[in-house]
Amino acid sequence: MATNLTPPGPLRLVGNVEANWNRFKELLEQYLAGSDLDGKADKVKTGILLSSLGEECFEIYRSFVFTNDPVTYNDVLKKFEEYCIPKKNILYERHMFFSRTQQQ
């Protein structure tokens, strides 16, 4: 089925990468749903994801190590989530919160 919808642009890895990733992922999900591709095979959805990410992110994808042989769409999404959304150091965040002082 041909569609006139435009896939999301490349993922920007500058600035707030977490917000850029969340926006890209939401736009991709809307594109897949609008193009009636959300029910397609993982191979098709993975291909659309990788072609939409851009060259810089494709190079990052090539550096990922996957444990299962047939790599699924959700596996690729999870790897990019881990890459784009850093883990927070809870102890450090607590320390910063409790050591703040109120300014006059």
pLDDT for the residue numbered 16:
92
pLDDT over 70 percentage in the chain: 97
The answer to whether residues 2 and 68 touch, using CB atoms and an 8 Å cutoff, is no
Q: Distance of alpha carbon 3 from its chain centroid, rounded?
A: 23
Report the pLDDT averaged over residues 43-71. 91
pLDDT(2) > 80: no
| Residue ranges covered by each domain of the chain | 17-98
